Amino acid sequence: MASIVKRGKTYSVVYYEGEGKKRQQKWESGLTYSAAKAMKAKIEHEQAQQTGGGDSENHLKEMTVSEFLYEFIEKYGAKKWSASTYDGNIGLLENYVHPYIGDKKLFSLSTKMIDDYYHFLETEAEPATNMGKPTRERITASTIHDIHKVLRCAFNLAVRWDYRKKNPFLNVTLPEHKEKERVVLEPSQILKVLKFTCRTDNYDYYLIHCAVLIAIGCTIRGGEIGGLQWDRVHYEKMTFHIDRAIDRISKKNLKLPKVRILFKFPNLIPGAKTCIVLKQPKNDHSARDVDIPQIVLNALQLLKQMQEKLKAELGSDGYIDYNLVICQANGRPMMTEHLNKRFKEILVEMNDPEINPEEIVFHSLRHTSATAKLFVSHGDYNSVMQAGGWANLEMLTRRYGKHSFQDNREKLAQKMDDFLGGGLEETKGDIGDTSGAQAGAIAQALQTLLQTNPDLLMQVVRSVQPANKE
């Protein structure tokens, strides 16, 4: 067992290690109270595992929420989650779960207790400090939904392990939360960005020019753009082979089963806790061949010439060649956060009254690209889904396919105006007898309507699926 001792303004966790004469007292000092509670639960869980108590019926009765969650992380999260998901979920548990309900008995947790807990998080609890971002007064509904997602998953496993008879998180009351729709750039705005950055005498500008072209023309993620290498660019086939992405990963997470490292870049800062790596994509659907528009290939050929010139001028000491397509002027990798920062700086520098840099991020380009491809392909969702590497159609329609451009909406209104006006005049005597022109107008209007309303599309798809035969 472990205990918490207050020492001045901080807290310590006191516990014992070893047996007999080798038994020694240990102190974990300088902690906040919430951190001390989390540390106490972790130590007691590790002690229970060492003594084999985790299998005893008595231990199950005494098991706390924190003890169970540490076991859940060890036996489920570490095996199933990517590095970023793992770090994010650990942060949620350490900041918002262990300090508040971690010492509750696992079997005693009820739906009412969870409702009270979520209400407390929403109205009273203080948000954890997020370095580099302004501190909020209250925990957001989005964060509470993220916490709930982890806990619901964990307690589903508790039921499977026979730790509990039912999951108390299934019927809780969550704060209302509507996912904020990402602001996307209109095609005319994208052209302004491309024109502004098309400076062949300035590598930094032209690099972003090419990154934007790739994002728009090929619908690939920022990490995939940063991880793209020249031997993955096939000029004759006019395709990219996407089989890797760049990422920054905590060194302690490098051995997670879901993290498959292809290359680790040398660290420039001694003692850094993270490292930059090339890793396999986030899911099996992400590995793919993507068609490249000719305009993108032309720009990349010029970018390659600029890089060759930099290598000749800077030498092997000044330019480290990692064979990266999108990289810094010294050859070092361009992380997603670097792309985003530089992209926003360019938007600020453009000072366009129609573009708000605060609302736009580099990832917005993927949304713009998906929307544009759906429009020019007349709603070919399967082709767009495969090009973008989405795992399923629902993800594309729910997050990316729901945008529309102002120009497209105006064209749609005009088509409906033509249909309702001129089309009706062509109708013959019989009300069901419609001319070919009007039928074409109806088909075109419906096609565009389905494209601009993905939810309606999904309903139509489900309605025509054959029923299961018994």
- Rounded Cα–Cα distance for residues 96 and 126 (Å): 9
DSSP assignment string, 167-193 = -TTTT--PPP--PPPPP---HHHHHHH
CATH H-level, domain 187-370: superfamily: Intergrase catalytic core (1.10.443.10)
What pLDDT is attached to residue 142? 92
Task: Confirm whether pTM is higher than 0.85.
Answer: no
- Which DSSP state fits 166? S
What is the architecture, at CATH level 2, of domain 63-180? Orthogonal Bundle (1.10)
- Rounded Cα–Cα distance for residues 356 and 181 (Å): 15
pLDDT in tens, the chain (470 residues): 677 777 777 888 877 777 666 667 677 888 887 777 777 777 777 776 665 544 556 667 788 899 899 999 999 999 999 888 999 999 999 999 998 999 899 989 999 999 999 999 999 988 887 655 666 788 999 999 999 999 999 999 999 999 999 999 999 999 988 777 778 888 889 999 999 999 999 999 999 999 999 999 898 889 999 999 999 999 999 999 999 999 999 998 888 888 889 999 998 888 888 999 999 876 666 788 999 999 999 999 999 999 999 999 999 889 999 999 999 999 999 999 999 999 999 999 999 999 999 889 998 888 888 888 877 777 777 887 877 777 777 666 666 655 555 565 555 455 545 544 554 455 444 444 444 454 454 445 445 545 555 555 555 445 444 444 43
Fill in the amino acid letter for 280: Q
Torsion sign over Cα 223, 243, 387, 253: negative
